[in-house]
Structure 1
């Protein structure tokens, strides 16, 4: 089986546990990853903290309004690793069963799926995914979230906006800005957007709830979403 990574998947934590663990969804994602691996398409997954992380972060700020963003991020990181364990339990021996704590090339092992969460304060799991893709020489990072692509502004607040089918690295950076705050929700983390450009990584934003569409994307087939990259 080829050890070459075909993709890094940033899987939204709200899809996995919103607000409680979504057992059927995790089982379907695991089955998809196992099908891909059986066909020689080996990918790696970074899972966010989602609703659970934001709940803990909001609680920490209510308990202590002076709590730092770094402390809040640490809470979120713990939640990402809980979500990662859920997926690992469904993947069994097809996956590395321990969770890497950083994004060095040693995070992945030949032929095995890696599942991990956050690493350090000051970044979301999108940034972790982009850093992992850069470290292992993976050309694609797919962000499976609860929206179906990139829009000029938040489509939930601005109905009628047209989704981008393809967007440049520079335009994405313009949309997402440059600042990070613990518990914030971006279509793509600003750090990840910069890594895409610097390392010429092709990004994708896709609705992770549509697993059939997501699998087509991971197989390199036609899909519904937004491709991020220079023409």
Structure 2
């Protein structure tokens, strides 16, 4: 299965999930039949899904691929605050928490606690948005500098600069890997895989599968 998962990642294929019965084989009660997609295909048909139909004479339940590019209108729910794994160990995160927690507030103990948590979360989220954009810009600049150095003849100074750029580049990729891994829920992968593109595809697929298209009854 580990080899199969690596092959799927190398080919850029993602499991589309299912709607209906979780078992595609009615006797062994296993989900053997699946639908897969690429990121490019998902971008063309973002609201497609795999439906598990009712059992027939076959020992496998038929699957129906419902292809759809419709964009449903729905009210966007305010995102709840979640602590990001990539914040852990960052001194800026620690400073924000200490600063906001030290701000005095009024009310009873529970009211003060709720107020501190809310304000601290807001400050952390604002800092995260700025930091994430800054990292993306820095990553682009680092890549351009490393590409320029690769075209230059070898010198000791150039080698040391290249090493420093590579270390910083690796640090930023590690942070972004944690960000996308947390959203992909691909917890079976170990640290150091550095497959951000895979995590990004998993997160996008998970977001589309979690969309509620409508209610069947009351």
Please indicate the TM-score interval, normalised by the length of the shorter structure.
under 0.3
Which structure: greater strand fraction?
Answer: 1
Which structure: greater helix fraction?
Answer: 2
TM-score (structure 2 length as normaliser): 0.26
